[in-house]
Amino acid sequence: MKAFALLITTLTFATLAQAQHRTRTHKNTNTSSSSSSAFSSYSFASNVEHEVVLSPTKVSIESYKDSKSRTNINIYGAYNHFFQDQMQIGGEGGLISTLDSKGDTKTLIAAMGVFTYNFDSNLRDAFFVQGGLGLYPAYVKDNAEYNSKISFFAGGGKRFEVWGKLNYMPYARIWKRGDENVRFDVELMNFSIFY
């Protein structure tokens, strides 16, 4: 519940900041000279055909020793491709380290197909909903370890343009991983890059 309250607070303050930015930009545009140039400037940030999503909290390599020497590798990212008005298709996945039933580290593959609908044609500053289906590590009670299992999620979030092609992209999701109970996931440290 605390994570949900934190997500709502973050989205509220970010939306207010974006609204103030738009108001200042609109006022500056109206007070500028009325003469217009025949040439308009080109923005390299205008292309939204490809989007890469990275989360610093989902990229880690750690090596440590307890009863055994261990190395955990977690690399997870996403790619979205614009294919029609306000819609994107893509995938996300990576390598996720878990412990097996003997206490040894094993790395599993996650691979999810993703559909995204954006509520604004300006994708760099849009609320969005997502759904995904694919393989994701899930706990299997029978053998008391994690295995890649059929999983799906649904969720939504908001992109905030930070600078040019870089966007801040918090979101929340409801997951069903294999036979596990439903999970609620809030990711506040996501960034996306359009190219």
**How is the chain split into domains, by residue range?**
46-194
CA distance 25 to 10: 22
Cβ distance 74 to 96 under 8 Å? yes
Residue 173 vs residues 54, 102, 139: alpha-carbon distances, Å: 16, 31, 19
**What pTM did the predictor assign?**
0.71
> What is the per-residue pLDDT for 14?
56
Write out the H or E segment, with its range, that includes residue 8: helix 2-31
Return the residue matching tokens 């390299």. 44
Looking at domain 46-194, does it have CATH number 2.40.160.20?
yes
Residue 52 vs residues 24, 70, 79: alpha-carbon distances, Å: 29, 30, 5
pLDDT values of the chain reduced to their tens digit, one per residue, 195 residues: 555 555 555 655 555 555 555 544 444 444 444 444 344 333 444 567 899 998 777 777 777 776 677 777 788 999 999 988 899 999 999 999 887 878 778 889 999 999 999 999 888 889 999 999 999 999 888 888 889 999 999 999 999 999 888 999 999 999 999 999 999 999 898 899 988
CA distance 137 to 46: 36
